Amino acid sequence: MRRYEADILVIGTGGAGLYAAIRAADGGGRVYVRDKGLIGRGGSTVGGAGVSAVGPWSKPGDNANVQFRDTVIGGAYLNDQPMVRILVEEAQQRIVEMESWGLKFDRGPDGRYVLDQAGGHSYPRVMTISDRVGLQMVKVLRNQARLRQIERCPDVMACRLLIHNGAIAGAIGLDVGVGEVVQVNAPAVVLATGGVGQLYPSTSNPIQNTGDGLALALRAGARLLNMEQVQFYPCGLVHPPSLRGFILGIQEYAALYNSEEERFMARYEPELLEHTTRDRLARAIFTEIVEGRGTAHGGVYLDATDVPKETFLSFQHEYEVARDRGFDMQLVRLEVAPAAHYFMGGVAIDISGCASVPGLYAAGEVSGGVQGGNRLSGNSLAEILVFGARAGAHAAGYARGAIRPTPEQAQAAEVEREIRGLVNRRNGRLTPSQGKQRLRRLMWQYAGVIRDGAGLTAARYELIGLEQELLPQISMSGPSLLQNHSLVSYLELKNMITVAQTIVQSALERQESRGAHYRQDFPEEASTPFCIEVTLEGGHLRAARRPPVMSELRPGSGEEGAE
Domain with CATH 3.90.700.10 in the chain: 235-339
Strand partners, 340: 203, 232
CATH number for the region 235-339 comes to: 3.90.700.10
Which one, of 512, 519, 511, 500, lies nearest residue 460 by Cα? 500
In DSSP notation, 18-65 reads HHHHHHHHHTT--EEEE-SSSTTTSSSGGG--EEE--STTSPTT--HH
- How confident is the model at residue 512, as a pLDDT? 98
Q: Strand 8-11 relative to strand 31-34: parallel, antiparallel, unpaired?
A: parallel
**Do 160 and 171 contact (CB within 8 A), yes or no?**
yes
Q: Show the DSSP H helices in 128-244 as ranges.
A: 133-147, 212-219
**Do 204 and 341 contact (CB within 8 A), yes or no?**
yes
**Do 23 and 388 contact (CB within 8 A), yes or no?**
yes
- How confident is the model at residue 354, as a pLDDT? 98
Torsion of CA 389, 392, 393, 396, to 10 degrees: -170
Give the SS3 label for residue 174: strand
- How confident is the model at residue 235, as a pLDDT? 94
Q: Show the DSSP H helices in 179-264 as ranges.
A: 212-219
DSSP state of 436: H
Give the SS3 label for residue 550: coil
Q: What is the amino acid identity at position 241? A: P
Give me the catalytic one of 94, 125, 223, 278.
Answer: 278
pLDDT digits (tens, 9 = 90+) for 174-210: 999 999 999 999 999 999 999 999 999 999 999 999 9
Q: Show the DSSP H helices in 247-343 as ranges.
A: 265-268, 278-288, 316-324
**Do 351 and 82 contact (CB within 8 A), yes or no?**
yes
Active site (annotated) includes residue 142: no
- What does pTM read for this prediction? 0.94
Q: Rounded CA gap, 362 and 28, in Å?
A: 19
DSSP state of 404: P
Architecture of domain 2-103+114-228+344-401: 3-Layer(bba) Sandwich (3.50)
Q: Rounded CA gap, 363 and 386, in Å?
A: 9
User: With respect to CATH, is domain 409-528 assigned 1.20.58.100?
Assistant: yes
Domain with CATH 1.20.58.100 in the chain: 409-528
Taking the CA atoms of 255, 260, 262 and 265 in sequence, report the sign of the dihedral they define: negative
- Cis peptide bond N-terminal to 529, omega within 30: no
Q: Rounded CA gap, 211 and 503, in Å?
A: 11
Buried residues in 255-266 as b, exposed as e (16+ CB within 10 A): bbbbeeeeebbe
Angle at 469 between CA 298 and CA 158, to 5 degrees: 80
Domain with CATH 3.50.50.60 in the chain: 2-103+114-228+344-401
Edge-to-edge, what's the strand order for the sheet holding 188-191? Answer: 151-153, 31-34, 8-11, 188-191, 360-362
**Do 531 and 517 contact (CB within 8 A), yes or no?**
no
The HSE-up count of residue 212 (CA atoms within 13 Å, CB side) is: 28
Q: Rounded CA gap, 7 and 189, in Å?
A: 9
Ranges of residues in the chain with a pLDDT under 50 are: 561-563
